[in-house]
Amino acid sequence: MESPLGVHLTKSTVGQVAAWIYGTDLPDACFGALLAGAILIHVLGVPLTCFALAITAFAGLVLLLLQGGYVCRTHPSTL
């Protein structure tokens, strides 16, 4: 199930958002697993790899919120 925030930010239907997320998630997960397992852990070590991935995830969240101009609402039905 896709989040109402994702549907609201893209101004699309739930089916379109679900298809887009699923279609981009598969190659992204493959690339991320290869990058983390084969390169980052050996070069940076486990603690720095975790820190780098956390920073990347936080930056993605900030960009998503800035791009959408989403204002937090108290009830999901107001999306």
Alpha carbon of residue 79 to chain centroid: 20
Alpha carbon of residue 68 to chain centroid: 14
Interatomic CA distance for residues 7 and 79, integer angstroms: 9
According to the model, what pLDDT value does residue 60 have? 85
pTM: predicted TM-score of the whole model, two decimal places: 0.49
Query: Digits of tens for pLDDT over the chain (79 positions)?
Result: 455 665 666 666 777 777 877 888 888 888 888 888 888 888 989 999 899 989 998 998 888 888 765 555 555 555 5
Give me the residue spans of the domains in the chain.
4-78
According to the model, what pLDDT value does residue 53 have? 87
Joined together, the tokens standing for residue 78 give 């107001």
Kindly provide the b/e burial profile for residues 15-48, where b requires at least 16 CB atoms within 10 angstroms of the residue's own CB.
eebeeeeeeeeeeeeeeeeeebeeebeeeeeeee
